[in-house]
Amino acid sequence: MTVSIAHLGPAGTNTEAAALAYAKGLAQTGISAQLYPCASIPQTLRITAQGQVDVAVVPVENSIEGSVGMTLDTLWRLDTLQIQQALVLPISHALLSQATCLTTIRTVYSHPQALAQCQGWIEKNLNSVQQIPSNSTTEALQYLNDDRTAAAIASTRAAELYHLPILAHPINDYPDNSTRFWVLAKQPSPGGLHTSLAFTLPANVPGALVKPLQVFFNRRINLSHIESRPAKRLLGEYLFFIDLEADASQTSIQWAIAELTPYIETLKIFGSYNILPIQ
Amino acid sequence: MTVSIAHLGPAGTNTEAAALAYAKGLAQTGISAQLYPCASIPQTLRITAQGQVDVAVVPVENSIEGSVGMTLDTLWRLDTLQIQQALVLPISHALLSQATCLTTIRTVYSHPQALAQCQGWIEKNLNSVQQIPSNSTTEALQYLNDDRTAAAIASTRAAELYHLPILAHPINDYPDNSTRFWVLAKQPSPGGLHTSLAFTLPANVPGALVKPLQVFFNRRINLSHIESRPAKRLLGEYLFFIDLEADASQTSIQWAIAELTPYIETLKIFGSYNILPIQ
């Protein structure tokens, strides 16, 4: 049996590394995998929801840059995908360039999140270079072959794949940099120690967020993350994405979810799953 | 008297429009203003904290794309700036190009937030064009003069400033698109109906966020926004940014802040201020 996996491409991105780690896990159970690199996160999720591929691997949160709004917003809209597993991947950035020393570099290309994660290092070591954002860390590499004054921030794996020299590594400002990914599919989630859900609150009710949080607190269900996203109507209206340390099949969490009803407007449960660290 | 205002440049960005609106308000009180366009949000805030300019105008939150992480993270680190005023600016995007019709367009350049805010329109009207991110909506315009197959997403004001034709307007997917800005300075904030603060929570305390929120709820102080940002140590540790509908000079809010102490680790108060809508 072969499982098709959609992810943000091209080859060499961190999302591809997460997809490969998931594929490796499948291989251990005798299932082979085929990767489908996509142009964007919404496209990755959409073709999975439409049944063109079996699963999607998407970034949810980075330990430095925070939540990936595009992933949460698309997931809320699509309404059909359930989380099968979470993956946590350590992220380290390298400076790739054909230049022989740092002083000859004039421009640095990379994905905006990668540039942001290396700001301190860039200001210290590449002062006054121009920083140019690209669609992915891999896309940034195309500028390196023709221009010896250009550098790109990408993974050491991308350096290998595209045969590019590493000038400095690691260059991320915070050593404990990691990204959490979700594996999503149309099938029900398998259950596990973590549950993710999102809700909107009724408009113009003061302190409306306290009530749902109290429901979980009173039942001793720990909240590991809360994220507000704009409801995309008026400034000041939000969706709340919540990660719970609990399995939605437990009676206590089922009761808690029932108790939420009077305090919230719309509730979407994205499933219960386990987190797998990747080495 | 002249007040110097730092903002994300160059001329034609939405942040410059907010800075100009603030300058207009100053002019009505007989104070003139000089604008200092900066290369990035951190630079805008840093030169203000260092006293090189009087005030900084920075984006905080967009009604579609959510909070501006770079602004919140830099403000937490700098520790010296207070909010003087908030400004809410309606945002509308236009498609600028030398092309005579949409079908000849091959690439669209813009700031990632502007591209994201027009995704639906692009997919419907410019299917299969390449989308290329730029550092600002204004920077995207440089590609238009030499290439009649290129388009950029920017404001109608940028079209006027740089003498570029508008091919379509408005093209944002959600009509009620607006951005909230903060005016920050080293002087104490003037007081007003809104207070912004941020705190970290002690590690490994289950339900740690509920307690501080309950303090405000019990005193009937409404929370208009909560935002979690990574503490940049480990995945799962956060700073919480909170906007309250209250003035920090009121006794009830001073008591509430005193009551927070046992439940939080570090607290930073960014001041009390009023919100000014911009037409």
pLDDT tens digits, residue range A76-92? 999 899 999 999 998 89
B contacts of A238 (beta carbons < 8 Å): 225
- Last residue in a domain, options B55, B74, B91: B91
Tens-digit pLDDT profile for residues A230-255: 887 777 788 999 999 999 888 888 99
Helix (H), strand (E) counts: chain B: 8, 16
Q: Do B235 and A132 touch (CB under 8 A)?
A: no
Q: Do B63 and A235 touch (CB under 8 A)?
A: yes
Q: Quick one: B77 and B102 in the same domain? A: no
Q: Give me the residue from B63, B134, B234 closest to A232, CB to CB.
A: B63
At A138 the pLDDT is 84
Q: How close A188 gets to chain B, by Cα (Å)?
A: 26
Distance CA B243, CA B176 (A): 21
Return the residue in A119, A143, A232, A242 with the most chain B beta carbons within 10 A, the one to mutate for interface testing: A232
At B65 the pLDDT is 75
B63-86 burial, b at 16+ Cβ within 10 Å, e below that, comes to bbbbbbbbbbbbbbebeebbbbbb
For chain A, what percentages of helix, strand and coil (3-state, to nearest 5) are there?
30, 35, 35
Q: Do B230 and A66 touch (CB under 8 A)?
A: yes
Q: Do B65 and A230 touch (CB under 8 A)?
A: yes
Q: How close B243 gets to chain A, by Cα (Å)?
A: 10
Domain membership of residue A178 (yes or no) is no
At B266 the pLDDT is 93
Task: Record the tokens describing residue B260, joined without a space.
Answer: 């927070």
Domain membership of residue A104 (yes or no) is yes
At B222 the pLDDT is 87
Distance CA A106, CA A152 (A): 11
Q: Do A133 and B134 touch (CB under 8 A)?
A: yes
Q: Quick one: B100 and B68 in the same domain? A: no
Return the C-alpha torsion angle A67, A72, A73, A79, nearest 10.
Answer: 180
Torsional class of B52: left (φ above 0), alpha (ψ -120 to 50), beta (otherwise): alpha
Query: Letter for the amino acid at A116?
Result: A
Confidence at B23, pLDDT banded by 50, 70, 90: very high
Task: Record the tokens describing residue B195, joined without a space.
Answer: 């207070």
B contacts of A66 (beta carbons < 8 Å): 69, 228-230
What one-character DSSP code corresponds to residue A11?
A: T
Domain membership of residue A229 (yes or no) is no
At A11 the pLDDT is 82
Q: What is the CATH number of the domain that holds B238?
A: 3.30.70.260
Q: How close A32 gets to chain B, by Cα (Å)?
A: 31
Q: Quick one: B73 and B14 in the same domain? A: yes
Asked if residue B170 has a cis previous peptide bond (ω within 30° of 0), the answer is yes
Kindly report the number of other CB atoms within 10 A of residue A54's CB atom.
Answer: 19
A contacts of B133 (beta carbons < 8 Å): 112, 133-135
Domain range holding A125? 94-168
Residue B275 near residue B88, CB atoms below 8 Å: yes
Domain membership of residue A29 (yes or no) is no
Q: Interhelix angle for A69-78 vs A41-49, to 10°?
A: 20
Distance CA B229, CA B67 (A): 10
**Structurally, how many domains does chain B consist of?**
3
Domain membership of residue A153 (yes or no) is yes
- Last residue in a domain, options B168, B186, B204: B168
ipTM reported for the complex, 2 dp: 0.77
pLDDT over 90 at B177, yes or no: no
Task: Record the tokens describing residue A3, joined without a space.
Answer: 């499982």
A contacts of B131 (beta carbons < 8 Å): 135
**Cα separation of the two ends of chain A:** 26
Spatial strand order of the sheet with A150-154 comes to: A130-133, A107-110, A150-154, A94-97, A166-168
Domain membership of residue B149 (yes or no) is yes
Q: Using CA of residue B155, residue B161, residue B167, residue B169, what is the dihedral sign?
A: positive
Residue B267 near residue B79, CB atoms below 8 Å: no
Confidence at B39, pLDDT banded by 50, 70, 90: confident
At A204 the pLDDT is 67
At B206 the pLDDT is 65
Question: The whole model's pTM is what?
Answer: 0.83
Q: How close B37 gets to chain A, by Cα (Å)?
A: 16
Q: Quick one: B237 and B252 in the same domain? A: yes
Tens-digit pLDDT profile for residues A20-69: 999 999 999 899 999 999 888 888 999 999 999 999 999 999 877 788 88
Q: What is the CATH number of the domain that holds B159?
A: 3.40.190.10
Instruction: Collect all residues with Cβ–Cβ distance below 8 Å to A113 and sequence separation of at least 6.
Output: A62, A65
A contacts of B224 (beta carbons < 8 Å): 236
Q: How close A134 gets to chain B, by Cα (Å)?
A: 6
Residue A217 near residue B213, CB atoms below 8 Å: no
Domain membership of residue A127 (yes or no) is yes
Report phi then psi at B191, rounded to 5: 90, 160
- Last residue in a domain, options B36, B71, B91: B91
Q: Among residues A224, A175, A198, which one has the least CA distance to residue A64?
A: A175
Domain membership of residue A122 (yes or no) is yes
Q: Do B176 and A112 touch (CB under 8 A)?
A: no
Distance CA B170, CA B184 (A): 31
Distance CA A256, CA A268 (A): 14
A contacts of B226 (beta carbons < 8 Å): 209, 226, 228
Write down the residue that tokens 């994300």 correspond to: B8
Give chain B's mean pLDDT.
90
Residue A223 near residue A256, CB atoms below 8 Å: no
Q: How close A31 gets to chain B, by Cα (Å)?
A: 30
Alpha helices in A69-155 (DSSP H): 69-78, 112-117, 119-125
